[in-house]
Structure 1
Amino acid sequence: MTTARISNCARFAERSIAGGGTPSSAWLGWRRDVESLDLDECPALIVVAPHPDDETLGFGATAASLRMRGVDVTVVAASDGGGAYPGLSPLERRWLERDRRAETELATRMLGLDPPIWLGLPDGELDRHEDALTDVLTEFLSAAAPGSWCAATWRGDGHPDHEAVGRSAAAACAATSSTLLEYPVWMWHWAEPNDADVPWQRMRRPVVDGGCSVRKRHAVNVFRTQLAPFEPGGDPILPPFVVQRLMAVGEMVFL
């Protein structure tokens, strides 16, 4: 089953990460009523991350809150994470994949979650593997508790891998009558408050338990491969202002 493409890849490509994007202050000064999402309705959760770190950056506090409540939480890492830096040799790519896996397993442990399920799909090429990913997610959701939630990156997030994961999750949820939550990550970079390309009417704010946001902040800090330059003088994948913006706006989902 396929889902309609609602892509913002062109908009993301127009705004370089190094350029800063929409600052945290613009979002914090924005006033919009966002309905709360009651986590008590969740029987089980599968969190799908395009890359090793998205589960923590986009949904870590909510996942930790649900686990604290006794909800079964499964993290699925779609890609191997080896494409974060272009031009790596095969050996360097294997080293990066190893390090990103170790970082994610530490971060999920800090959030109180079980180690991720690793699918090992190629970073940067997830749109070529959507059918396979949809099949895997459908299998997972079919085996989960009835009415389980699936949290995945938003289909309009702007990053091609994020959007591919969102489409696969949407198709799997439709096939299994599961509840889909789409969490934005890069939307906060390229979009503007009240942006016409964002479905604000569908946005919800999960009500997270006390302390889980702090645990998320500590977990985010373990992703050194993304927070520090790969080579001296280079730019990190996640500059400090990107992390600060994500922590400032908090976790949101499209329902």
Structure 2
Amino acid sequence: MSENLIKASEGRPWAAWQQSAHLARASWITPDQLLPAGRRLVLLAPHPDDEILMAGGLLAGLHGREQDVLLISATDGEGSHPESATWTEHRLRRQRPLESRHALQQLDLDLNRLDWRRLHLKDGALPRDEAFLLNHLNQLLEPDDVLMTTWRGDGHCDHEALGRAAAQAALARQVQLVEVPVWAWHWAQPDDPRLPWSRAHRIALDETRVARKRLALAAYHSQLEPDQGRAPVLPAHLLDCLLQPFELVFL
């Protein structure tokens, strides 16, 4: 799968996804069922903003449990605006991690207690770093960890590389793997057979968690604002799908 899927698709509005029989059949779980007290969440994000797109609602309930979270940012997101005179790679490399910091604060997380590691790998080139990522995960994963990252079929090379590395590491270290579709909401059909629906579950989010996730996503100005006539990187219909009262995961 490639970014061509993302570019070729005009996107699917939430109204279309509401007709999905597969989505309707996805079982509901609570945040505490996925991440009981005492279990550590290892959240692996390809770019700044993916941690919120994937799991902003889950993270929004972890105030006081920051010690149970290890956030790994693989890249600094410098490749989101190719050929832009406004958002140069140099500017994005500084701006996007700052946006993530502000977003995490909007979730009421104490960043002084959060273990947040940035790998500074090249945006758009994570497939070449899969061996490094696998080795890195194998060294840091502990028994009973919950390893969450983007789905290995998500349609973006970086998302898929992390998904593949995480799947191998989870198998080797015998930890729970949680894959999250992000861009699939944009390019897939509502009952698309390419999605692993048999593994689909919905993490239930209350109004407070959804509201905090919405505030957190608003911190990503670089991704939400038009640039020199170009549409925002994150289209409104994608955000709408990701701000429902659940987060879709593949277990």
* TM-score bracket for this pair, using the shorter chain length: 0.7 to 0.9
Which residue in the other structure is 1:16 paired with?
Answer: 7
Question: CA separation in 2, counterparts of 1:141 and 1:60?
Answer: 22
Distance 1:131 1:190 in 2: 28
Deviation of 1:62 after TM superposition, in Å, equals 1.2
Q: Can you give the 5+ residue segments of structure 2 that lack an aligned partner in the other structure?
A: none
The TM-score with structure 1 as length reference comes to 0.86
CA offset digits 1:6-27 (Å, max 9, x no partner): xx32xx514527x531221111
Distance 2:84 2:15 in 1: 36
Q: What does residue 238 of structure 1 align with?
A: 234
Of 239, 243, 246, 1:247 maps to: 243
1: distance between equivalents of 2:156 and 2:205?
26
Q: Would you say the 8 A contact 1:20–1:241 is kept in 2? A: no
Equivalence map 1:144-163=2 (5 Å) = 146-163=143-160
The aligned residue for residue 119 of structure 2 is 119
Aligned-residue sequence identity (percent) comes to 38
CA shift digits 1:9-58 (9 cap, x unpaired): 2xx514527x5312211112334211123433421101111110001012
What does 1:164-179 correspond to in 2, within 5 Å? Answer: 164-179=161-176
The match for 1:35 is: 27
| Structure 2 partner of 1:106 | 102
Question: Which deviates further from its counterpart, 148-157 or 192-201?
Answer: 192-201
Note the aligned Cα RMSD (angstroms). Answer: 2.1
| Contact 2:134-2:165 at 8 Å conserved across structures | yes
Aligned residue runs from structure 1 range 127-142, under 5 A? 127-142=127-142
Instruction: Specify the SS of the correspondent of 1:244.
Output: helix
The 10-residue stretch of structure 1 (69-78 or 149-158) with the greater mean CA deviation from structure 2: 69-78
Q: Alpha-carbon deviation of 1:207?
A: 2.8
Within the candidate set 65, 80, 96, 1:70 is matched to: 65
> Once superposed, which parts of structure 1, at least 4 consecutive aligned residues long, lie more than 6 Å away?
none
Look up the match of 1:4.
Answer: none
Corresponding residue number in structure 2 for 1:226: 223
With normalisation by structure 2, the TM-score equals 0.87
Kept in 2: contact 1:152–1:169 (CA 8 A) = yes
User: C-alpha distance in 2, partners of 1:241/1:191?
Assistant: 13
The alpha-carbon deviation at position 210 of structure 1 amounts to 4.7
Is the counterpart of residue 50 in structure 1 residue 40 in structure 2? Answer: no
Task: Return the alpha-carbon distance in structure 1 between the equivalents of residues 140 and 104 of structure 2.
Answer: 19
CA distance in 2, matches of 1:85, 1:250: 29
| 1:70 partner amino acid | R
Give unmatched runs, 5+ long, in structure 1. Answer: 1-7
Would you say 1:202 and 2:199 are equivalent positions?
yes
Could you tell me how far 1:193 is from its partner in structure 2? Answer: 1.9
2:56 to 60, 69, 74: 60
Residue 27 of structure 2 aligns with an amino acid whose one-letter code is: E
- 1:182 aligns to what? 179
